[in-house]
Amino acid sequence: MQKGSIRVQTENIFPIIKKFLYSEHDIFIRELVSNAVDATQKLKTLSSIGEAKGDIGELRIDITLDATNKTLTISDRGVGMTEEEVDKYLNQVAFSGAEEFLEKYKGQNENNIIGHFGLGFYSSFMVSEKVEVVTKSFKEGATAVRWECDGSPEFSLTPAEKEQRGTDIILHINEESKDFLDVYKVKSTLEKFCKFLPVAIYFKDANEKVEVLTEVKNEDGEVDATSDSNGAIPPSGGGGALPLNNTAPAWTKKPADLTKEDYENFYRELYPYNETPLFWIHLNVDYPFNLTGVLYFPKIKNSYEIQKDKIQLYSNQVFVTDEVKDIVPEFLMLLQGVIDSPDIPLNVSRSYLQGDPNVKKINAHITKKVADKLEELFKGEREEYQKKWESLGLFVKYGMMTDDKFLEKANNFFVMEDTTGKFHTKEEYVTATATQKNKDGKQVILYTTNPVQQDTYIQQAIAKGYVVVKAETLVDAAFINTVEMKWNDFVFTRVDADIADNLIDKTEGAESVLTKDEAEKLKTLFSQPQEGLNINVEVKGLSTDAPPVTATRPEQMRRMKDMAASGGGMAAFYAQMPDEVALTVNGNHSIFKNILSQTDTTQQEKLVKNLADLALLSQGLLTGKNLTQFISRSVELMG
């Protein structure tokens, strides 16, 4: 038997380990199970090169919870340790590093304390009043040893009885951490951190009632199955419990070995309640960095119930974090799935990324892979691609706004849907609207943010041979503002920004049938002040089937007001400004001959006021008192 003190000079090192080794105490399960996996994988390697002799048998990790005795045990069948190795790895190497980290990180944020010094094992002291390690090396003739420590610098190392090779770590859970004696708590933590570890993990509740299995016979008297005392038949597969983890998740396999169903099944494993994803991208890089994973494009509902942080980061199949904003480009944070890379540097808490060239390379690689996949889908399955555009468009537009390299690639697969349901690429839109240019020679992309509300304007534009595209999503306003600055030869104009004849630089409309005096009279009648609005009136000769009055708002001013409404930019300044409205009076509409012939000037003013209000109503600018007066006046005129 050997007793001694761990070679540390600083007395308060254990309180720091116990309280501040990690910010989240449940990480101790990840650390200890990961160590068990490492020991198991090491044995497999030694066996493959002939250093571990004989049959290595079933390699598994067993987690046993005994709430009665307040213990949690992690057992592996890996390489194990000799007495000399226990003394070296548990008493010398780790704690020489422990003193170093204590001097370096004392007084700093607790997230900085662990990781550089291989102290994962000591996370066990965060939840334990005593830790026992019973281990037996794989080496021929090795004997088992027991190491015990109660969280002070004192330890004991004694011979032990253990038939099987490997290591058992027995945690005597302290009172403050008794929630780790709860079956659900332990299993949910294993599910979180160990779901895809490469060695099978089995969980056992030592206090669970064991049912006696009895035979179930069929009609012929043959044994068909076994059941417990309640008549329930256990899962097939050799009897006994099934492992908690999937040891060979989809991202660890070659894409050629996976089917569509494999990818969809893995998605359901990650997100059991989600709809089937649109498609996925399998990442598999081994140079100049190691990166594997599967990223899924989820369906985005019209309600835009958007969820970020659904991508999980792993390191050699060990869960690290779902905070991946530095690895995954911002515009792809709505993707879901898994990324696994041992090359991504993590700080000492293993939960936060540090700045590193590899992270930037991985970020750029993911962007390229997504762009390549979208282009491949667009060119190979355009019809299906367009059906999915409602969801895909969100990713593509966001990417075009935030990443110039993606914007350049996206020109090959970005599409715009017009009001007739036809899709156009940027080039196709130019071809379809060759004469749709403004006085500066820029290609005008006419768009609608609300096809129902703006239907009158859309129909006028279509009647002139223009093409109007839909821009109805939450991201479209920002998208238009951003790409307009990057597409130098294009300008976006909402279809209700002016009357159809003025939207495009074309020949002037028909002459007004009104005399100059009649036109001035109408202009005066329509120039009545409206609370909260700055109205400009123009009388023009439009086609006889065009509306009598059209209200439009200058494109740039409307954008500023919209931005103010959403709290962006100089919100307060623009929010206080009155709305700029242009009322275009169609001098060729027959209704004005009737209005101008009215001898009752009060009635004449009411009719004109109602026409103006109808136009303002189409722009959503008739509200409050003005709307109430319009309704009352309409009833009166109808009477």
Domains along the chain with CATH numbers: 2-205 (3.30.565.10), 250-387 (3.30.230.80), 415-503 (3.40.50.11260), 516-550+571-638 (1.20.120.790)
Element (H, E) at 147: strand 145-149
pLDDT at residue 135 in the model: 95
Average pLDDT, consecutive stretches of 10 residues, N- to C-terminus, the chain (639 residues): 59 58 78 90 89 88 96 95 87 57 50 46 88 94 92 86 94 94 95 93 85 50 48 38 90 94 95 89 87 90 58 88 81 89 64 66 89 94 93 89 91 94 94 87 92 89 91 88 91 86 64 82 86 84 83 81 63 65 87 88 89 86 86 87
CA atoms within 13 A on the CB side of 378: 20
Widest Cα–Cα separation across the chain: 120
Cβ proximity of 166 and 39 under 8 Å: yes
Dist. CA 23–CA 274, nearest whole Å: 31
Dist. CA 489–CA 444, nearest whole Å: 9
Dist. CA 329–CA 395, nearest whole Å: 11
Torsion of the alpha carbons at 335, 339, 343 and 345, rounded to the nearest 10? 60
Question: Cα 605 to the chain's mean position, in Å?
Answer: 57
* Burial of 9: CB neighbours in 10 Å, binned 0-12, 13-18, 19+: exposed
pLDDT at residue 239 in the model: 38
Structure tokens at 30: 């990840």
pLDDT at residue 10 in the model: 46
Q: Hey, what long-range contacts does 38-42 have (CB within 8 A, 24 or more apart)?
A: 38/78, 39/76, 39/78, 39/79, 39/80, 39/166, 39/167, 40/76, 40/77, 40/78, 40/199, 41/78, 41/198, 41/199, 42/78, 42/79
Measured at the CA of 153, the angle between CA 150 and CA 154, to 5 degrees, comes to: 65
Cβ proximity of 190 and 67 under 8 Å: no
Reduce the DSSP state of residue 592 to 3 states and report it: helix
Residue with tokens 């089917």: 259
Count CB-CB contacts under 10 A for residue 378: 21
**In Å, what is the CA distance from 99 to each residue of 10, 14, 103, 113?**
7, 11, 6, 11
Measured at the CA of 192, the angle between CA 190 and CA 194, to 5 degrees, comes to: 50
pLDDT at residue 115 in the model: 38
Single-letter code of the amino acid located at 344: I
Convert 149-208 into a string of H (helix), E (strand) and C (coil).
Answer: ECCCCEEEEEECCCCCCEEEEEEEECHHHHHHHCHHHHHHHHHHHHCCCCCEEEEEECCC
Dist. CA 493–CA 503, nearest whole Å: 8
pTM: 0.75
Count CB-CB contacts under 10 A for residue 422: 14
* Burial of 334: CB neighbours in 10 Å, binned 0-12, 13-18, 19+: buried
Of 334, 333, 289, give the one whose Cα is nearest residue 315.
289
Dist. CA 318–CA 151, nearest whole Å: 27
CA atoms within 13 A on the CB side of 229: 4
Distance spanning both ends of the chain, measured CA to CA = 109
pLDDT at residue 575 in the model: 57
Residue with tokens 């256990």: 234
Cβ proximity of 442 and 491 under 8 Å: yes
What is the Cα Rg of the chain in Å?
A: 36
Torsion of the alpha carbons at 262, 264, 265 and 270, rounded to the nearest 10? 130
DSSP structure class, residue 346: B
